Amino acid sequence: MPLTIVRNDITKMDCDAIVNAANNSLLGGGGVDGAIHRAAGPELLAECRTLGGCDTGRAKITKGYRLAAKYVIHTVGPIWQGGGHGERELLASCYRESLRLAAENGCKTVAFPLISAGVYGYPRAEALRVAMDTCSDFLMEHDMMIYIVVFDRGSLLVSEKLFADIRRFVDDNYVSEHTDKDRKLRARLFGSFAAKSESMEGAAMAAPMAAHSNMAETVCEEAALPDGLAEAMARMDESFSQMLLRKIDEKGLTDAQCYKKANIDRKLFSKIRSDVNYKPKKITVIAFAAALELTIDETRDMLMKAGFALSHSSKFDIIIEYFISHGRYDIIEINEVLFEFDQPLIGG
């Protein structure tokens, strides 16, 4: 997944470079800056002294010393003054300049903290948005793995309204599933009326079971007849990979437009492209469904081809259903919400 959000201490990230939210002097400070200097050792400060400070929105690079990361990229974020003083552009410039330095120094993996979102007071949700948008723009032109590292829980990372809408949607759908389970449990524990409804459910279950056993016989028969099997195979539905490529064409996208929009690594996409029977992960299928702006039915169809479904007993599935059925396909936004709900992110 070329762009992802993780919860971690950035000094522990094993990347080619980690980015430091420094101040103009580059001579160390509190917050993430202090943590990076403590973990890297005094040699880092010694090198920083030779750099002559750094302007807001710009970046400078040093070695990583005792860190797992080979480099530290020091950038100076803007101090939040209400949003009308060019803060957004300066913050975006921090990410762009840091990524430019990372690319010039051959880095393939880079980790950022939420620059300016601590002592400098930039609202966290907006700081995350700038980080995600700027990094995703950069990834349109470059191959790199970028981590946005969120340290503490603090305030929300998505808008309160969106969070509340999704929380309600999850609760409504999750609860109905569990109410249903409760009902079945009550049925098992008490009373004949409940028992009746159980047996009806049992009958309903019997039909698919019978169908299944017939199917098993048919399969055995066919297996004994290699010609028949070959014929059946020839009639197989289109695979996930075939459906994906067809949809890309139908939507008039290029492959690169599609996999970049889907937050999918180029190498993974070429594997899928070259293997008609490729079995992707669920987070990969959903990322493609969002990038291709599929309807909820088309999404279910694509998931089924890869052996998955959307259920109401998983928060992840309900959140995905919320976005797709509301026609909201912004993968950055979906991932921000998934992260906020402690769910896996989509992409691959």
Does residue 28 belong to the site contacting ligand ADP (CB under 6 A)?
no
| Stretch of 113-121, 257-265, 291-299, 319-327 contacting ligand ADP, by CB under 6 A | 113-121
Does residue 344 belong to the site contacting ligand ADP (CB under 6 A)?
no
As a whole number of angstroms, the distance between CA 249 and CA 101 comes to 36
Q: Contacts from 50-53 at CB under 8 Å and sequence distance 24+?
A: 51/26, 53/24, 53/25, 53/26
33 is catalytic: yes
Q: Which of 40, 114, 135, 157 binds ligand ADP (CB under 6 A)?
A: 114
Query: Which residues is 59 bridged to in the sheet?
Result: 75
Up-side HSE of residue 345: CA atoms within 13 Å toward CB?
23
Q: Which of residues 221-280 bind ligand ADP (CB under 6 A)?
A: none
Nearer Cβ to ligand ADP, position 102 or 114? Answer: 114
Does residue 35 belong to the site contacting ligand ADP (CB under 6 A)?
yes
Q: How far is the CB of 133 from ligand ADP (least distance, A)?
A: 17
Nearer Cβ to ligand ADP, position 16 or 33? Answer: 33
Does residue 115 belong to the site contacting ligand ADP (CB under 6 A)?
yes
Q: Which of 149, 243, 306, 318 binds ligand ADP (CB under 6 A)?
A: 149
Does residue 119 belong to the site contacting ligand ADP (CB under 6 A)?
yes
As a whole number of angstroms, the distance between CA 259 and CA 207 comes to 42
Q: Which residues contact 293 (CB under 8 A, 6 or more apart)?
A: 251, 327, 329
Nearer Cβ to ligand ADP, position 61 or 287? Answer: 61
- The DSSP letter of residue 69 is S
Nearest CA among 325, 328, 331 for reference residue 312: 325
Active-site position among 16, 33, 265, 317: 33
Nearest CA among 297, 282, 281, 287 for reference residue 334: 287
Question: Do residues 295 and 251 make contact, with C-beta atoms less than 8 angstroms apart?
Answer: no
Does residue 17 belong to the site contacting ligand ADP (CB under 6 A)?
no
Q: Which helix (H) or strand (E) holds 223?
A: helix 192-224
As a whole number of angstroms, the distance between CA 143 and CA 12 comes to 23
Does residue 347 belong to the site contacting ligand ADP (CB under 6 A)?
no
Q: Convert residues 152-171 into a mask of x (bound to ligand ADP by CB under 6 A) and - (unbound).
A: x-------------------
Q: Which residues bind ligand ADP (CB under 6 A)?
A: 9-11, 21, 31-33, 35, 77, 113-120, 149, 151-152
Active-site positions read 33
